[in-house]
Chains A and B, each alone.
Chain A
């Protein structure tokens, strides 16, 4: 990832409910400073003179407590700790609740070329949004060759070698009313260390598809806004491969899994051959995955039923003390 500067922070295009509403008050020359960590520091202790373990490389958030302590320091004309605070080359300082620092504070910031920002949000709300934003900015990313689609609300990453029919399968899924996130190159980001979000590598080129024989098509124009999505969590991997006579494919539905960027995801290997409709198989896999999420495991439940049935057969045999149950008897004795 290239550098993330304070200017980038101000320029972020965030949606309504997680907008940071930041404005720059002073220290414009410091806007090009890089933010290097995903942490946010509350400089309360530093203002009181305790600089051990002070995180000078992170964003400094002045909440209500820090602000009232600052007023106290200013009243006593005690600028020593504030000067020392700025000597750490802070990326920026942020004042919450729409407040402005004093003239002298701004002068010190200007002198140290540190941007002073303000937001009308309260610190709890701001911190929550800011942490989420920083998590996304500093997320580990990886680009993968595959197609990401959303089927019945499940994010499915379809992988497989070139020409196996990933895009064709995705196209049919879209025809059936599902959504495309990205074709061919999928950018994965690992968020809060436990899930993966996939999106197109470049928003300008996203939602285009290359279909052999047709060329490049624009799905947004062809199918409308309902057929596309910007990003989606990857919840299931579907790997397409050529049907191999010698290979044993899963016949019962035990769960395979694969680890991508340290996160284990359920995986299905689908052999592709003539006459197998890949799109409807993927649809079925998505339905099955939703059942699993609800705690219902089709193949396990089936196995349980078989076991129960065998058990009851055995019990019945014992009870009636017969060697074999006659076909016709079965229904009468069931009740």
Chain B
């Protein structure tokens, strides 16, 4: 299991477009990828789930990857957040 702490750096928060990019990235990997916010845990491969998180600017999120390619998946997800979904 690989975990990372993420932070939302875009002012608009995670709306539809960033959510679709997160799901797209997550879907490239075999591993089970989940994002946690407070007491909520959702599947990062589903757009609706990510939007439901209601992550706004500077929200802290916790990433949990589990599976054969968890390292690469965590790396890719972290990059995506760091690059502000560009």
Q: Which residues of A contact B48 (CB under 8 A)?
A: 183-185, 205, 208-210, 216
Within 8 A of A (CB), among B23-71: 27, 39-43, 45-49, 51-52, 54
Cβ of B1 < 8 Å from any Cβ of A?
Answer: no
Verify A184–B49 contact, CB threshold 8 A.
yes
- Which residues on B sit within 8 Å (CB–CB) of A205? 48, 51-52
Chain A residues with CB under 8 A of B54: 202
Inter-subunit contact B16/A185 (CB<8 Å): no
A210 touches B46 (CB 8 A): yes
Asked if residues B47 and A185 are in contact (CB atoms below 8 Å), the reply is: no
When the two chains form the complex, which single residue of A1, A141, A185 contacts B49, counting CB atoms closer than 8 Å?
A: A185
Q: How many A-B residue pairs have CB under 8 A?
A: 41
Tally A residues with Cβ within 8 Å of B.
16
Chain B, interface size category, equals 10 to 19
Beta-carbon nearest neighbor of B26 in chain A: A162
A141 and B41 CA atoms in complex are apart in Å by 11
Q: Is A201 an interface residue (CB 8 A)?
A: yes
Asked whether, in the complex, the Cβ of A184 is within 8 Å of the Cβ of B41, the reply is no
A 35-62 contacts with B by CB, 8 A:
none
**Lowest 10 A-B CB distances belong to which pairs?**
A184-B48, A162-B45, A145-B43, A201-B52, A210-B47, A185-B49, A185-B52, A210-B48, A184-B46, A184-B49
- Give 14 new A-B contacts, CB below 8 A, not counting A163-B27, A185-B49, A216-B47: A1-B39, A141-B39, A143-B41, A145-B42, A162-B45, A162-B46, A184-B48, A201-B52, A205-B48, A205-B51, A208-B48, A210-B46, A216-B16, A216-B48
Hey, which bits of chain A sit against chain B, CB under 8 A?
1, 141, 143, 145, 162-163, 183-185, 201-202, 205, 208-210, 216
Question: Can you identify 13 A-B contacts, CB atoms within 8 angstroms?
Answer: A1-B39, A141-B39, A143-B41, A143-B42, A145-B49, A162-B45, A162-B46, A185-B52, A201-B52, A202-B52, A216-B16, A216-B47, A216-B48
